[in-house]
Amino acid sequence: MTNKQVYRMTTTTATETTKKVRMTAGERAGIPPRRMDFEFGEDTKRYWYADNSFLTTFWTTLSALFPEGETFFVDTVKNYRHEIKDQLLKDQVSGFIGQEAMHSKEHAAFNDVAERNGLPTGTLDKEVGWLLKLGRKILPKKLQLAITVALEHYTAILAEQLLRDKRHQENISDPEALKLWMWHALEENEHKIVAYDVYQLVGGGYFLRTFAMLLATVFFFVIVIQGHARLMWADGSLFNIKANLKGLWFLWGWKGLFPTLTFKYLDYFRPGFHPNDHDTVQLLDDWREKMLQDGGMLADQIKNPSHAHMTGNTSAA
């Protein structure tokens, strides 16, 4: 079944239920912006990932990049919103914008906890914001969008691993942090095709797409490595040899996080690649049930539950 066939079915259902509940554009496209309100209190565990300082500060470094980073993603797509005529893609863009806005909000709240623990997440966020502001000024808009497409591929394959690999779920010991990361991972894969399809619509080609991925990869690792080192320094764990070696092995060792992502990362350089080539339809359906159905992980967390339980996601069909 094609995206458009699924979309017609979804919009037909939407028409039938409009009198009861009004659906947003994102909900019609199977990318419902779910309003969350996570509560990260004083009792949030300091080393919430595997009781390991290295790995906790690694994930916290990524979180510190999300508020400004995802705002940039939204802006680069909005630059071309006026060129989109297809109703399905219009609705998908609306869902993408709504989901990314919520990710920025909730990770900012999560970062505040790290800040209270003495980690300079706010400083990292501001520095990334400055860099991206410079990028908006000096880079062509199509290159900005291509960078978003590249980084959305990163987030999609990393999010897929979070959902597939039970080690992650077992390692995240803080219940609220687990909800945040699993919710974020679910929605990253719900909207993983949107920026890519907008890029194709506006005439983005293979060379620019792959060049942007190489550029994004260099900057991503430079920013993450130096940011991670600074968080460990602030935490007092930079020279915790045992924890650091354990963390490095988890990230880079045999069957580590990054080696297991290598083939999906490299697949991006294949001519004709599309994010839907990485099939996550059943994976997302399974996790929606785990998270959103009665008694699920997020059932009592969502502030707009009307269509948060939707399945049959068009963006990954």
Residue 251 contacts by C-beta under 8 Å, 6 or more apart in sequence? 55, 58, 257, 258
Domains contained in the chain, number? 1
Domain assignment present for 101: yes
Tokens encoding 219: 């900057």
In a domain? residue 28: no
Give residue 15's pLDDT. Answer: 45
Residue 4 lies in a domain: no
Residue 304 has pLDDT above 60, yes or no: yes
Full residue range of the structural domain in which residue 232 is found: 46-279
For residue 49, the SS3 value is strand
Is residue 2 assigned to a domain?
no
Q: Is residue 200 part of a domain?
A: yes
- Give the residue from 33, 13, 314, 23 showing the smallest Cα distance to 193: 314
C-beta pairs of 170-176 under 8 Å, 24+ apart in sequence: 171/49, 171/50, 171/55, 172/48, 172/49, 173/45, 173/48, 173/49, 173/50, 173/51, 174/44, 174/45, 174/48, 176/38, 176/39, 176/40, 176/44
Strand partners, 172: 49
The span from the CA of 61 to the CA of 100, in Å, is: 18
The Cα 258–Cα 277 span in angstroms is 20
Collapsed DSSP state (helix, strand, coil) of residue 31: coil
Task: Give yes or no for a contact between 68 and 180, defined as CB atoms under 8 angstroms apart.
Answer: no
Q: Is residue 309's pLDDT more than 90?
A: no
Q: How confident is the model at residue 310 (pLDDT cuts 50, 70, 90)?
A: low
Q: The whole model's pTM is what? A: 0.89
Q: Apex CA 69: angle with CA 265 and CA 186, to 5°? A: 60
Averaged over 166-174, what is the pLDDT?
A: 93
CA terminus-to-terminus distance, the chain: 7
Which amino acid appears at position 220 of this protein?
F
Share of the chain above pLDDT 90, in %: 79
Q: Does pLDDT of 18 surpass 50? A: no
Instruction: Encode pLDDT of 104-140 as tens digits.
Output: 999 999 999 999 999 999 999 999 999 999 999 999 9
Does residue 40 form part of some domain? no
Let me know: does 54 contact 243? Beta carbons within 8 Å: yes
Residue 317 lies in a domain: no
Residue type, 305: P
